[in-house]
Amino acid sequence: MFERILVPYDGSIGAERALIKATELAKLCKAHLIIVTVYRHHSMLEASLSMVRGSSEPGSNLDETMRSAAREAADFAKSHAKDAGVEHVSAFIKAGQPARTIVAMANDKACDLIVLGSRGLGATESYLLGSVSHKVTGTADCPVLVV
């Protein structure tokens, strides 16, 4: 039925539910589960402060911190899927606008299903611009299951 399932994972409750559902579907279909964690700056003030604030570690900055947190989330999701019995699992981290990045990843990896949570960690963006799940369902070329 499905061969390649993409699940965006950001550590939120909605993403956790989507990961569980995507894991069940991947096992049922013997599909390859592809996990993506997308990170980006949301605050210009925070980005500005990171340039002038001293750091205890050389080379440490906000991008590196966000990339590290994204890597931890992706690794957790991959471990969860493997522990649940999914044979083929890949995890990626990407920087960018979440909805666009998710759809681009689905296209690049030839996914035939996207499973994502109805709400993620980006409450401010959801309020101001419309939710990521709404944007993904409107622009994806493959079916989208919103959990």
CATH code, 133? 3.40.50.620
Residue 48 located in a structural domain: no
**Torsion angle defined by CA atoms of residues 71, 73, 77 and 78, in that order, rounded to the nearest 10 degrees:** 10
Q: Is residue 118 included in any domain, yes or no?
A: yes
pTM over 0.85: no
Q: Hey, which bits of the chain come out as E strands?
A: 4-8, 32-39, 89-95, 113-116, 144-146
Residue 50 lies in a domain: no
Alpha carbons 103 and 140: distance in angstroms, whole number: 6
Q: Quick check: is 13 in a domain?
A: yes
The angle, 0 to 180 degrees and rounded to 10, between the axes of the packed helices 132-139 and 98-108 is: 40
Whether 65 maps to a domain, the answer reads: no
Q: How many domains does the chain have?
A: 1
Decide if 101 is inside a domain: yes
**28-86 pLDDT, tens per residue?**
999 999 999 999 865 555 555 555 555 445 445 778 888 999 999 999 999 999 999 99
